[in-house]
Amino acid sequence: MAATCPIGFDVDRLRAQVLATYDRVARDPHGDFHFHRGADYAAQYLLYDRAELALLPASATARFAGVGNPHRIGPIRPGEVVLDHACGAGTDLLLAARRVGPTGRAIGVDMTPAMRHQARTAAREAGLDGIVDVRAGVYEALPVEDASVDVVISNGVVNLAPDKTRVLEEIARVLKPGGRLHLADVVVQRELKLEARSNPDLWAACIGGALPEPELYGIVAAAGLVGGRIVERFDCFRNTSAEVKVSRDLRVQGVNFHAHKP
């Protein structure tokens, strides 16, 4: 079962590896990584609108490292409260802020100090700092009040979590009744071998902790969210070094997944 990490897995080492990886992305997005980054990747592989991305500071879009496109899952409406669940340098967060407008709020949570700095800087540069609120935190204990969020967007995050059940429970906790989950994450068609699931480098690259598709549906439902469905798929690891580290028959994919809180 991939909803939790393997028995004996060094969770502290994993968290340190994830923190170190995304700290490096924050400091030098053009470095050597197992995954794609940047605005061209977002537009070409994940169907982001190039014109929308061009309106955002390059400091944010250069550090984009998502695996899907939560903005294609459903509308984000003016006046809503949106939580970007591990916001990174802020690309999805700033796009959400533009959608909610001055009567709404876009909250970003991230555990990486360098990423939070980039997100806050990008929000100021984009003139959105009155709407955007970037907070320190982890996905197992979100610094957000119960039932206070209309939409949670998450892009390439759940697969990084050692305890995915806990992460989905936190998402359900902060959503208002009727609130929506716009989840972009990684799935596989069968569970990875123990060797791959025990490799912190592959976890940090968004593959080692990827859920088999049926388990994604299961943990979302167990958290109390309903209507879960995959609405779009992306070949987000094409032409990366991560692609050659796992069997092709696993069909590692990014997916857009929608659910809501009853």
Instruction: Report the CATH number at residue 108.
Output: 3.40.50.150
Q: Which of 4-18, 52-66, 158-172, 174-188 has the lowest mean pLDDT?
A: 4-18
Within a domain: residue 4? no
Residue 97 has pLDDT above 80, yes or no: yes
Which range of residues forms the domain containing residue 164? 11-260
113 φ, ψ (degrees, to nearest 5)? -55, -40
pLDDT tens per residue, range 120-158: 999 999 999 999 999 999 989 999 999 999 999 999 999
Task: Please provide residue 105's backbone torsions phi and psi, each rounded to the nearest 5 degrees.
Answer: -150, 140
Residues in the chain: 262
Using CA atoms, how far apart are residues 24 and 10, in angstroms rounded to an integer? Answer: 21
- Is residue 241 domain-resident? yes
Q: What percentage of residues in the chain have a pLDDT greater than 70?
A: 84
252 belongs to a structural domain: yes
pTM above 0.85? yes
- Cα dist from 82 to 78, 184, 210, whole Å: 10, 15, 25
Please give the structure tokens belonging to residue 21.
């990886």
Tell me what the mean pLDDT of segment 99-111 comes to: 97
The answer as to whether 256 is a domain residue is yes
Q: Is 166 part of any domain?
A: yes
SS3 content of the chain, % helix, strand, coil (to 5): 40, 25, 40
Residues 7-22: tens digit of each pLDDT: 455 667 767 777 888 8
Number of domains into which the chain is organized: 1
Residue 242: helix, strand or coil by DSSP?
Answer: helix
Give residue 239's region: left, alpha or beta (phi > 0; psi -120 to 50). Answer: left
